[in-house]
Amino acid sequence: MAGEGAYEREPVALDERITSDGSSPWPVEPGRYRLIVARACPWANRAVIVRRLLGLEDAISLGIAGPLHDERSWRFHLDPDNRDPVLGIEWLGEAYRKADPNFSGGITVPAMVEISSGKVVTNGFQQLTLDFSTQWKAYHRPGAPDLYPEHLRAEIDEVMAGIYTEVNNGVYRCGFATTQEAYEEAYDRLFTHLDLLSERLAHQRYLVGDTITEADIRLWVTLVRFDAVYHGHFKCNRQKLTEMPVLWEYARDLFQTPGFGDTIDFEQIKQHYYGVHRQINPTGVVPKGPDPRVWLEPHSRARLGGRPFGDGTPPGPVRPGEQVPPIVR
Protein backbone atom coordinates (compact mmCIF):
# COMPACT_ATOMS: atom_id res chain seq x y z
CA MET A 1 0.00 0.00 0.00
CA ALA A 2 1.43 3.34 -1.00
CA GLY A 3 1.90 5.88 1.77
CA GLU A 4 0.33 9.33 1.89
CA GLY A 5 1.47 11.46 -1.02
CA ALA A 6 3.01 8.56 -2.92
CA TYR A 7 2.51 8.28 -6.66
CA GLU A 8 0.77 5.16 -8.00
CA ARG A 9 0.83 4.41 -11.72
CA GLU A 10 -2.58 3.75 -13.20
CA PRO A 11 -2.83 0.21 -14.63
CA VAL A 12 -3.26 -0.15 -18.38
CA ALA A 13 -6.86 -0.55 -19.43
CA LEU A 14 -6.63 -2.38 -22.76
CA ASP A 15 -4.27 -5.28 -22.30
CA GLU A 16 -5.16 -7.72 -25.06
CA ARG A 17 -2.22 -9.41 -26.72
CA ILE A 18 -1.42 -9.88 -30.40
CA THR A 19 -0.27 -13.47 -30.76
CA SER A 20 0.85 -15.93 -33.40
CA ASP A 21 -0.67 -19.07 -31.85
CA GLY A 22 -4.36 -18.22 -31.80
CA SER A 23 -4.38 -17.63 -28.03
CA SER A 24 -5.96 -14.19 -28.44
CA PRO A 25 -8.59 -12.70 -30.77
CA TRP A 26 -5.85 -10.56 -32.33
CA PRO A 27 -3.58 -12.50 -34.70
CA VAL A 28 -0.11 -11.47 -35.79
CA GLU A 29 -0.62 -10.11 -39.29
CA PRO A 30 1.71 -7.72 -41.11
CA GLY A 31 0.10 -4.45 -42.13
CA ARG A 32 -2.86 -4.89 -39.81
CA TYR A 33 -1.68 -2.77 -36.89
CA ARG A 34 -0.16 0.66 -36.37
CA LEU A 35 2.14 1.33 -33.43
CA ILE A 36 1.40 4.75 -31.97
CA VAL A 37 4.21 6.30 -29.94
CA ALA A 38 5.56 9.65 -28.80
CA ARG A 39 9.25 10.52 -28.84
CA ALA A 40 8.93 11.95 -25.34
CA CYS A 41 7.65 8.80 -23.64
CA PRO A 42 10.12 6.22 -22.29
CA TRP A 43 7.58 3.38 -22.44
CA ALA A 44 6.93 4.17 -26.10
CA ASN A 45 10.64 4.65 -26.79
CA ARG A 46 11.41 1.07 -25.90
CA ALA A 47 8.77 -0.15 -28.37
CA VAL A 48 10.40 2.00 -31.08
CA ILE A 49 13.83 0.55 -30.26
CA VAL A 50 12.67 -3.07 -30.28
CA ARG A 51 10.72 -2.62 -33.51
CA ARG A 52 13.81 -1.13 -35.13
CA LEU A 53 16.32 -3.69 -33.82
CA LEU A 54 14.09 -6.58 -34.93
CA GLY A 55 13.34 -5.03 -38.32
CA LEU A 56 9.57 -4.95 -37.95
CA GLU A 57 9.13 -1.71 -39.87
CA ASP A 58 7.45 -3.40 -42.85
CA ALA A 59 5.14 -5.44 -40.63
CA ILE A 60 4.08 -2.72 -38.18
CA SER A 61 3.71 0.90 -39.28
CA LEU A 62 4.61 3.75 -36.96
CA GLY A 63 2.54 6.78 -35.97
CA ILE A 64 4.17 9.50 -33.89
CA ALA A 65 2.17 11.78 -31.62
CA GLY A 66 3.65 15.15 -30.76
CA PRO A 67 5.15 16.02 -27.38
CA LEU A 68 2.27 18.20 -26.18
CA HIS A 69 -1.15 17.10 -25.00
CA ASP A 70 -3.90 18.04 -22.60
CA GLU A 71 -6.75 16.24 -20.87
CA ARG A 72 -8.01 15.11 -24.31
CA SER A 73 -4.93 12.90 -24.80
CA TRP A 74 -1.87 12.71 -27.01
CA ARG A 75 -2.34 14.69 -30.21
CA PHE A 76 -0.85 14.30 -33.70
CA HIS A 77 0.11 17.97 -33.81
CA LEU A 78 3.28 17.39 -35.85
CA ASP A 79 1.43 15.76 -38.75
CA PRO A 80 -0.23 17.63 -41.64
CA ASP A 81 -3.66 18.93 -40.61
CA ASN A 82 -2.88 17.71 -37.06
CA ARG A 83 -4.02 14.21 -37.99
CA ASP A 84 -2.32 10.85 -38.17
CA PRO A 85 -1.97 10.22 -41.92
CA VAL A 86 -3.06 6.57 -41.68
CA LEU A 87 -5.69 6.57 -38.94
CA GLY A 88 -7.06 10.02 -39.79
CA ILE A 89 -7.49 10.99 -36.15
CA GLU A 90 -6.37 14.13 -34.34
CA TRP A 91 -6.37 12.73 -30.81
CA LEU A 92 -5.23 9.26 -29.77
CA GLY A 93 -8.24 9.15 -27.46
CA GLU A 94 -10.43 8.73 -30.55
CA ALA A 95 -8.92 5.28 -31.13
CA TYR A 96 -9.44 4.34 -27.48
CA ARG A 97 -13.11 5.29 -27.69
CA LYS A 98 -13.54 3.28 -30.86
CA ALA A 99 -12.44 0.27 -28.82
CA ASP A 100 -14.70 1.27 -25.93
CA PRO A 101 -17.14 4.19 -26.30
CA ASN A 102 -17.21 4.54 -22.52
CA PHE A 103 -13.45 4.41 -22.08
CA SER A 104 -12.34 6.45 -19.07
CA GLY A 105 -8.87 5.11 -18.30
CA GLY A 106 -5.48 6.53 -19.08
CA ILE A 107 -4.82 7.27 -22.75
CA THR A 108 -1.22 6.19 -23.06
CA VAL A 109 1.49 5.35 -25.54
CA PRO A 110 2.61 2.96 -26.86
CA ALA A 111 -0.66 1.73 -28.27
CA MET A 112 -1.26 -0.80 -31.02
CA VAL A 113 -4.21 0.21 -33.19
CA GLU A 114 -5.99 -2.01 -35.71
CA ILE A 115 -5.88 0.12 -38.86
CA SER A 116 -9.10 -1.13 -40.49
CA SER A 117 -11.31 -0.51 -37.43
CA GLY A 118 -9.31 2.32 -35.87
CA LYS A 119 -9.56 0.58 -32.48
CA VAL A 120 -6.79 0.37 -29.89
CA VAL A 121 -6.01 -3.30 -29.35
CA THR A 122 -3.53 -2.91 -26.51
CA ASN A 123 -1.63 -0.35 -24.51
CA GLY A 124 0.03 -3.10 -22.47
CA PHE A 125 3.52 -1.63 -22.59
CA GLN A 126 5.07 -4.30 -20.36
CA GLN A 127 4.14 -7.23 -22.63
CA LEU A 128 4.17 -5.47 -26.00
CA THR A 129 7.91 -5.52 -26.66
CA LEU A 130 8.26 -9.08 -25.41
CA ASP A 131 5.61 -10.06 -27.93
CA PHE A 132 7.55 -8.26 -30.67
CA SER A 133 10.40 -10.63 -29.84
CA THR A 134 8.41 -13.84 -29.40
CA GLN A 135 5.17 -13.55 -31.40
CA TRP A 136 6.40 -11.61 -34.44
CA LYS A 137 9.44 -13.81 -35.16
CA ALA A 138 8.25 -14.73 -38.64
CA TYR A 139 8.64 -11.08 -39.64
CA HIS A 140 11.99 -10.30 -38.01
CA ARG A 141 14.70 -9.08 -40.37
CA PRO A 142 17.57 -11.40 -41.29
CA GLY A 143 20.21 -10.90 -38.61
CA ALA A 144 17.75 -9.66 -35.99
CA PRO A 145 19.19 -10.04 -32.48
CA ASP A 146 17.56 -12.23 -29.86
CA LEU A 147 16.52 -9.66 -27.27
CA TYR A 148 14.76 -12.18 -25.04
CA PRO A 149 16.76 -15.42 -25.27
CA GLU A 150 14.88 -18.32 -23.76
CA HIS A 151 17.74 -19.61 -21.60
CA LEU A 152 18.14 -16.20 -19.95
CA ARG A 153 14.49 -15.22 -19.54
CA ALA A 154 14.25 -15.93 -15.82
CA GLU A 155 17.25 -13.68 -15.11
CA ILE A 156 16.08 -11.01 -17.55
CA ASP A 157 12.63 -10.97 -15.94
CA GLU A 158 14.15 -10.62 -12.47
CA VAL A 159 16.42 -7.75 -13.53
CA MET A 160 13.59 -6.00 -15.37
CA ALA A 161 11.27 -6.26 -12.36
CA GLY A 162 13.72 -4.27 -10.24
CA ILE A 163 14.36 -1.76 -13.03
CA TYR A 164 10.64 -1.15 -13.47
CA THR A 165 9.70 -0.61 -9.83
CA GLU A 166 12.80 1.23 -8.67
CA VAL A 167 14.05 3.09 -11.76
CA ASN A 168 11.53 3.37 -14.63
CA ASN A 169 8.66 4.08 -12.26
CA GLY A 170 10.96 5.29 -9.50
CA VAL A 171 11.71 8.60 -11.22
CA TYR A 172 7.96 9.22 -11.54
CA ARG A 173 7.44 8.39 -7.87
CA CYS A 174 10.00 11.09 -7.09
CA GLY A 175 8.51 13.62 -9.49
CA PHE A 176 4.86 13.19 -8.57
CA ALA A 177 5.18 12.66 -4.83
CA THR A 178 3.07 15.18 -2.93
CA THR A 179 4.60 14.81 0.53
CA GLN A 180 8.20 15.15 1.66
CA GLU A 181 8.18 11.66 3.18
CA ALA A 182 6.92 10.01 -0.01
CA TYR A 183 9.45 11.91 -2.11
CA GLU A 184 12.41 11.03 0.09
CA GLU A 185 11.46 7.35 0.19
CA ALA A 186 11.20 7.27 -3.61
CA TYR A 187 14.50 9.16 -3.96
CA ASP A 188 16.36 6.75 -1.68
CA ARG A 189 14.96 3.69 -3.44
CA LEU A 190 15.85 5.09 -6.87
CA PHE A 191 19.48 5.82 -6.09
CA THR A 192 19.95 2.63 -4.09
CA HIS A 193 18.94 0.68 -7.16
CA LEU A 194 21.04 2.79 -9.52
CA ASP A 195 24.03 2.03 -7.28
CA LEU A 196 23.29 -1.70 -7.50
CA LEU A 197 23.08 -1.47 -11.29
CA SER A 198 26.38 0.42 -11.37
CA GLU A 199 28.00 -2.41 -9.43
CA ARG A 200 26.54 -4.99 -11.81
CA LEU A 201 27.70 -3.12 -14.91
CA ALA A 202 31.18 -2.30 -13.64
CA HIS A 203 32.45 -5.66 -14.86
CA GLN A 204 30.06 -6.64 -17.64
CA ARG A 205 29.05 -4.68 -20.71
CA TYR A 206 25.34 -5.56 -20.62
CA LEU A 207 22.89 -6.41 -17.88
CA VAL A 208 22.32 -10.09 -18.69
CA GLY A 209 24.71 -12.20 -20.74
CA ASP A 210 27.12 -10.70 -23.24
CA THR A 211 24.61 -9.16 -25.65
CA ILE A 212 21.93 -6.49 -25.60
CA THR A 213 18.66 -7.80 -24.19
CA GLU A 214 15.26 -6.36 -23.36
CA ALA A 215 16.61 -5.53 -19.89
CA ASP A 216 19.15 -3.07 -21.33
CA ILE A 217 16.49 -1.36 -23.41
CA ARG A 218 14.23 -0.90 -20.40
CA LEU A 219 16.95 0.63 -18.25
CA TRP A 220 18.38 2.79 -21.02
CA VAL A 221 15.18 4.67 -21.87
CA THR A 222 15.19 6.09 -18.33
CA LEU A 223 18.92 6.80 -18.28
CA VAL A 224 18.83 8.72 -21.56
CA ARG A 225 16.19 11.08 -20.11
CA PHE A 226 17.86 11.42 -16.73
CA ASP A 227 19.82 14.64 -17.03
CA ALA A 228 17.42 16.28 -19.49
CA VAL A 229 14.31 15.91 -17.31
CA TYR A 230 14.47 13.61 -14.29
CA HIS A 231 17.42 15.23 -12.49
CA GLY A 232 15.82 18.68 -12.31
CA HIS A 233 12.16 18.36 -13.21
CA PHE A 234 11.56 15.25 -11.07
CA LYS A 235 14.06 16.25 -8.32
CA CYS A 236 16.20 13.12 -8.86
CA ASN A 237 19.22 15.22 -8.04
CA ARG A 238 21.69 13.28 -5.94
CA GLN A 239 23.81 13.10 -9.07
CA LYS A 240 23.46 13.66 -12.77
CA LEU A 241 23.92 10.65 -15.00
CA THR A 242 27.13 12.28 -16.23
CA GLU A 243 28.37 12.10 -12.61
CA MET A 244 27.78 8.33 -12.32
CA PRO A 245 30.81 6.97 -14.20
CA VAL A 246 29.69 3.39 -14.90
CA LEU A 247 26.12 4.19 -15.87
CA TRP A 248 27.21 7.18 -17.95
CA GLU A 249 29.64 5.08 -20.00
CA TYR A 250 27.06 2.29 -20.31
CA ALA A 251 24.38 4.72 -21.48
CA ARG A 252 26.74 6.37 -23.96
CA ASP A 253 27.76 2.97 -25.34
CA LEU A 254 24.13 2.16 -26.12
CA PHE A 255 23.36 5.66 -27.41
CA GLN A 256 26.08 5.19 -30.02
CA THR A 257 24.72 1.74 -30.97
CA PRO A 258 22.37 1.74 -34.00
CA GLY A 259 18.76 1.53 -32.84
CA PHE A 260 19.20 3.56 -29.66
CA GLY A 261 20.45 7.12 -30.07
CA ASP A 262 18.80 7.35 -33.47
CA THR A 263 15.38 7.15 -31.75
CA ILE A 264 15.98 10.08 -29.37
CA ASP A 265 14.72 13.64 -29.80
CA PHE A 266 15.87 15.54 -26.72
CA GLU A 267 13.86 18.65 -27.63
CA GLN A 268 10.59 16.73 -27.77
CA ILE A 269 11.45 15.00 -24.49
CA LYS A 270 11.96 18.35 -22.74
CA GLN A 271 8.96 19.95 -24.43
CA HIS A 272 6.71 17.22 -23.10
CA TYR A 273 7.87 16.95 -19.50
CA TYR A 274 8.32 20.67 -18.86
CA GLY A 275 5.38 21.76 -21.00
CA VAL A 276 2.73 19.27 -19.91
CA HIS A 277 3.41 18.72 -16.19
CA ARG A 278 2.13 22.13 -15.13
CA GLN A 279 1.56 20.95 -11.55
CA ILE A 280 5.37 20.62 -11.32
CA ASN A 281 6.43 23.38 -13.74
CA PRO A 282 3.60 25.94 -13.77
CA THR A 283 5.31 28.35 -16.18
CA GLY A 284 5.84 25.75 -18.88
CA VAL A 285 9.32 27.15 -19.50
CA VAL A 286 11.53 24.54 -21.19
CA PRO A 287 15.23 24.53 -20.25
CA LYS A 288 17.76 25.14 -22.97
CA GLY A 289 20.30 22.54 -21.76
CA PRO A 290 21.90 20.17 -21.25
CA ASP A 291 24.15 20.02 -24.31
CA PRO A 292 23.35 16.74 -26.14
CA ARG A 293 26.79 16.61 -27.75
CA VAL A 294 28.16 14.89 -24.64
CA TRP A 295 26.38 11.74 -25.81
CA LEU A 296 28.85 11.49 -28.69
CA GLU A 297 31.93 11.46 -26.47
CA PRO A 298 34.03 8.26 -26.73
CA HIS A 299 33.57 5.48 -24.18
CA SER A 300 35.64 2.47 -23.21
CA ARG A 301 32.94 -0.15 -22.64
CA ALA A 302 34.24 -2.35 -25.46
CA ARG A 303 37.08 -3.37 -23.13
CA LEU A 304 34.53 -5.52 -21.27
CA GLY A 305 33.91 -7.64 -24.36
CA GLY A 306 30.40 -8.57 -25.34
CA ARG A 307 28.75 -8.56 -28.73
CA PRO A 308 25.97 -5.98 -29.01
CA PHE A 309 23.81 -8.00 -31.41
CA GLY A 310 25.11 -11.48 -30.60
CA ASP A 311 25.15 -13.56 -33.77
CA GLY A 312 23.00 -10.94 -35.48
CA THR A 313 23.74 -7.66 -37.19
CA PRO A 314 22.98 -3.98 -36.60
CA PRO A 315 19.76 -2.57 -38.05
CA GLY A 316 19.93 -0.64 -41.30
CA PRO A 317 19.31 3.07 -41.76
CA VAL A 318 16.31 4.67 -40.08
CA ARG A 319 13.30 4.68 -42.38
CA PRO A 320 12.27 7.94 -44.08
CA GLY A 321 9.77 9.79 -41.95
CA GLU A 322 11.03 8.14 -38.77
CA GLN A 323 14.32 10.04 -38.39
CA VAL A 324 15.10 12.27 -35.44
CA PRO A 325 17.21 15.46 -35.70
CA PRO A 326 20.91 14.53 -35.61
CA ILE A 327 23.17 15.86 -32.88
CA VAL A 328 25.59 18.28 -34.49
CA ARG A 329 29.07 18.22 -32.99
Residue 2 has what pLDDT? 56
Q: What's domain 18-139's architecture? A: 3-Layer(aba) Sandwich (3.40)
For residue 269, which amino acid is it? I
> Tens digit of pLDDT for each residue in 31-51?
999 999 999 999 999 999 999
Fold of 150-304: Glutathione S-transferase Yfyf (Class Pi); Chain A, domain 2 (1.20.1050)
* Domain residue ranges of the chain, discontinuous segments joined by +: 18-139, 150-304
Residue 14 has what pLDDT? 83
Strand ordering across the sheet containing 111-114? 61-65, 33-38, 111-114, 119-122
> Tens digit of pLDDT for each residue in 186-232?
999 999 999 999 999 999 999 999 999 999 999 999 999 999 999 99
Residues with catalytic annotation?
41, 172
Residue 4 has what pLDDT? 80
User: pLDDT below 70 — which residues of the chain?
Assistant: 1-2, 11-13
Is 317 in contact with 323 (CB distance < 8 Å)?
no
Strands 73-74 and 69-70: antiparallel
Pick the closest to residue 46 from 140, 138, 164 (CA basis): 164
Is 129 in contact with 44 (CB distance < 8 Å)?
no
The structure's pTM equals 0.96
74 known member of a binding site:
yes
